[in-house]
Amino acid sequence: MKPNPGINSSTFAGIKHRIWSLPTALVLLWVVVLLWGERFTYGNSVKRCLWQQWESWPTHAQPHHVLLVADPQLVDPHTYPDRPWPLSDLTVAYTDRYLRRSYRHLQDKLRPDATLFLGDLFDGGREWGTVDSSSPEERYKKYGTSFWMKEYMRFSDMFLRSWYKGRLASRAEPEGRRILASLPGNHDLGFAAGIQQPVKERFDAYFGPMNRIDIIGNHSFVHLDTVSLSAMDQIDPETGSSGAGDGSAAATASSKIWTPVEEFLQNAKNTRDKAIRHACETRFNWPASGHRDLLDPNVRSAADTSEDPNPRQPRPKVSSSQFPTILLSHVPLFRSGTTSCGPNRERGTSIPLSAGYQYQNVLTPLISQDIVKHLTAEEITMIYSGDDHDYCEIEHSEFTGRIREITVKSMSWAMGIRLPAVQLVSLWNPVAQDAVFPNSGDDNDDTTGRQATPRDTVQNHLCLLPDQLGVFIRYAQMLGLTVLVLMVRTLLHGRGRGATAQSDQKSEPLLPIARDVDPAGVQSCSSVRKDDENVATRKMGSYAHGGRSRSSSPWKKPRFMKDGDDDDEDDWGMPQSKRRLRPHLNRPGKLRFFGKSMRQVAWPVILFYIWLIWTG
Ligand SMILES: *[C@@H]1O[C@H](CO)[C@@H](O)[C@H](O)[C@H]1NC(C)=O
């Protein structure tokens, strides 16, 4: 616009009109809605999960914080094989962004001491070929090792980068915060007999070991590859019966899949004891070196020969019960199909029992029993599983100690649930040296009874993440509102013109003009007319008009019309004669006007949205 030397207060009023126009108001509303959907929802969700908000430990406690992530299941060509471009790429972009943002907020705000994944890191991981194998499905045969590597980088970018940004050590974990993504899911490996050995070896090489025991927060965390173990007792989807192989070639192949896991299980108690001993020696400096010297080495070795094959290194027996066992399995343990999952589940009330190609909803009773038996039922306090995508919290009444199991929700919003989530686990279990090494004290009486596993050392919190679908619905509503408002505005705009044009001819006041009597009406009416005017092309005369219609008497209609003529031309792009027709005959002009208002709103909004996406 050209500066007018005769600029006056009414000119400013005109500018004010332009800035506080309806499109501007819509843009501002959009800014608020977009900030809410792209920023505040994430912050708010995570704020509700802060540890102090829900933990209840004694004040002196220094709990260990664990973040459990289940089924991120990165969307890939396997997820929606028939989705056309660009929808397919958009789905990938939006789910990745959601995961990245939520995870970054979780790591930034919660700073978990350990981050553990419960499997199904990928959706089609099992399909991407290796040097020695390719997908059994024709449509995935073209995806090979390089594709898998890309997916591996994608996962690392998303989940390792923001984890690494935090300090490496924390108060509860001075030796370093941990991140473990080694638990495989059926989408990473396949299920039971469906697992291809090279695919399994590759996962093990990059994420493994798949079976492991770690001491985390004074608890024994057992990662167990139950998708492989399931080959030991697989449900036949056709007959519904379960049973190990019959010595056939297929049975031999499947035994190669489950045997290592079963061997790990059989040796689990030893491994756990070793891990506990190692943790005590390195972290707590137990048994204190002086303490061990108090005992006569000969006496100790004589007492220990039965268990310790190396008599030169006598070590006190450790009681694993003081470090309650927490089992992580991708597939939930067996329960009846009607076992209620509690109120936090979204779909239905229980996990249905079903099995099919490359999946099985729960482990078989035989495998569940096998696992619990080898880990000592009394020492297991919690089981965490994934796979189901929805939440489920049950108590296993079939095992002693009524072990609790929580099936963790998927973290992705593309996995069939409205509110994705992660599981927060707070551990507080101050162990006493005497209890861990019951025989290393002064009294060497035969304390045969196993020490009871401490109770209530675990507190759980379901941490819900933003409702992405709800955000999109809000955007759609906002779009509807925008179109509606601009349409009404276009109609009003036309009606106003039509009416004044008519009144000009007939010299008869019509409704919109009658409204002008009210001073407030003058404002609203003129603003409705004015705010649409194109800033770039509008002439100064209409500025003056904008001011005058406010300041001068609304009854001076003839002047009003004359003043308005100028900007009418710009807005409508119509010759004078046509403008004088009734509004419904001005359809092309109306469409043009509507399109222009839409563009006025759309451009700033789209740019702001792109910026929001770009920067986070
Ligand atoms: C683990 O036990 C040690 C020794 O009692 C204690 O200092 C530490 O705070 C405990 N940590 C947790 C997370 O319970």
Give the residue extent of every domain in the chain.
17-48+471-496+591-615, 58-235+253-285+317-437+451-466
Nearest-10 crossing angle of helices 587-614, 468-506:
150
Please name the residues in contact with 551: beta carbons below 8 A apart, sequence gap of 6 or more: 10, 13
Ligand 1 atom showing the smallest separation from residue 284 Cα: 4
Of the ranges 265-274, 486-495, 568-577, the best mean pLDDT one = 265-274
CA of 261 to the centre of ligand 1 (A): 30
The mean-pLDDT minimum among 54-68, 511-525, 579-593 falls in 511-525
Furthest C-alpha separation in the chain: 122
pLDDT (0 to 100) of residue 520: 44
Q: Does 514 have pLDDT greater than 90?
A: no
The mean-pLDDT minimum among 80-89, 183-192, 249-258, 272-281 falls in 249-258
Ligand 1 atom showing the smallest separation from residue 431 Cα: 5
Ligand 1 binding pocket mutation candidate from 431, 456, 458 (most atoms within 8 A of CB): 431
pLDDT (0 to 100) of residue 413: 95
Please name the residues in contact with 462: beta carbons below 8 A apart, sequence gap of 6 or more: 344, 391, 409, 421, 423, 424
Q: Does 159 have pLDDT greater than 70?
A: yes
Task: Determine the Cα–Cα distance for residues 538 and 534; give it in Å rounded to an integer.
Answer: 6
CA of 165 to the centre of ligand 1 (A): 26
Mean pLDDT of 351-359: 93
Structure tokens belonging to residue 545 = 């008009």
pLDDT (0 to 100) of residue 12: 59
Taking only the tens place, the pLDDT of each residue in 5-40 is 445 555 656 655 655 688 999 999 999 999 999 999
What are the C-alpha distances in Å from 390 to residues 237, 382, 422?
23, 18, 11
CA of 43 to the centre of ligand 1 (A): 31
Mean pLDDT of 110-127: 96
pLDDT band, residue 338 (cuts 50/70/90): very high
Task: Determine the Cα–Cα distance for residues 417 and 388; give it in Å rounded to an integer.
Answer: 10
Report angle CA 325, 326, 327 to the nearest 5 degrees.
115
CA of 65 to the centre of ligand 1 (A): 13
pLDDT (0 to 100) of residue 584: 53
| Percentage, residues of the chain above pLDDT 90 | 60
Ligand 1 atom 7: residue of nearest CA: 430
Task: Determine the Cα–Cα distance for residues 257 and 201; give it in Å rounded to an integer.
Answer: 11
Ligand 1 atom showing the smallest separation from residue 64 Cα: 13
pLDDT (0 to 100) of residue 252: 81
pLDDT (0 to 100) of residue 222: 98
Ligand 1 atom showing the smallest separation from residue 283 Cα: 3
Ligand 1 atom showing the smallest separation from residue 218 Cα: 1
CA of 521 to the centre of ligand 1 (A): 72
Nearest-10 crossing angle of helices 197-207, 249-266:
30
Task: Determine the Cα–Cα distance for residues 330 and 405; give it in Å rounded to an integer.
Answer: 12
Find out if CATH 3.60.21.10 is the number for domain 58-235+253-285+317-437+451-466.
yes
Ligand 1 atom 8: residue of nearest CA: 430
> 455 vs 529, which has greater pLDDT?
455
pLDDT band, residue 611 (cuts 50/70/90): very high
Ligand 1 binding pocket mutation candidate from 429, 433, 455, 457 (most atoms within 8 A of CB): 429
Mean pLDDT of 116-145: 94
Ligand 1 atom 10: residue of nearest CA: 430
CA of 380 to the centre of ligand 1 (A): 19
Task: Determine the Cα–Cα distance for residues 576 and 584; give it in Å rounded to an integer.
Answer: 16
Q: Does 498 have pLDDT greater than 80?
A: no
Ligand 1 atom showing the smallest separation from residue 428 Cα: 14
Q: Does 447 have pLDDT greater than 70?
A: no
pLDDT (0 to 100) of residue 601: 95
Torsion angle of C-alpha atoms 204, 208, 210, 213, degrees rounded to 10: 160
Residues within a 6 A CB radius of ligand 1:
62-64, 172, 217-218, 284, 427-431
CB count within 10 Å of CB 612 equals 15
CA of 374 to the centre of ligand 1 (A): 26
Q: What is the DSSP string of 481-518?
A: HHHHHHHHHHHHHHHHHHHHHHHHHH----HHHHGGGS
pLDDT (0 to 100) of residue 172: 84
CA of 509 to the centre of ligand 1 (A): 86
**Phi, psi dihedral angles at 468 (to 5 degrees):** -65, -40
CA of 316 to the centre of ligand 1 (A): 20
CA of 282 to the centre of ligand 1 (A): 13
Taking only the tens place, the pLDDT of each residue in 74-96 is 999 999 888 888 999 999 999 99
CA of 446 to the centre of ligand 1 (A): 27
CA of 472 to the centre of ligand 1 (A): 45
> 21 vs 513, which has greater pLDDT?
21
Ligand 1 atom 9: residue of nearest CA: 430
The mean-pLDDT minimum among 140-154, 246-260, 409-423 falls in 246-260
Ligand 1 atom showing the smallest separation from residue 457 Cα: 14
Ligand 1 atom showing the smallest separation from residue 432 Cα: 5
CA of 431 to the centre of ligand 1 (A): 6
Ligand 1 atom showing the smallest separation from residue 172 Cα: 13
Ligand 1 atom showing the smallest separation from residue 427 Cα: 13
Ligand 1 binding pocket mutation candidate from 51, 59, 62, 426 (most atoms within 8 A of CB): 62
CA of 402 to the centre of ligand 1 (A): 25
Q: Mean pLDDT for the chain?
A: 81
- Is the distance from CB of 211 to CB of 261 less than 8 angstroms? yes
Ligand 1 atom showing the smallest separation from residue 63 Cα: 13
Q: Does 536 have pLDDT greater than 60?
A: no
Ligand 1 atom 6: residue of nearest CA: 430
Q: Does 524 have pLDDT greater than 90?
A: no
Ligand 1 binding pocket mutation candidate from 218, 284, 457 (most atoms within 8 A of CB): 218
What are the C-alpha distances in Å from 285 to residues 275, 410, 434?
14, 39, 13
pLDDT (0 to 100) of residue 152: 96
What are the C-alpha distances in Å from 541 to residues 27, 457, 547, 562, 570?
27, 78, 10, 10, 12
- Is the distance from CB of 362 to CB of 351 less than 8 angstroms? yes
CA of 430 to the centre of ligand 1 (A): 4
Taking only the tens place, the pLDDT of each residue in 216-270 is 999 999 999 999 999 999 766 566 665 544 557 777 888 999 999 999 999 999 9
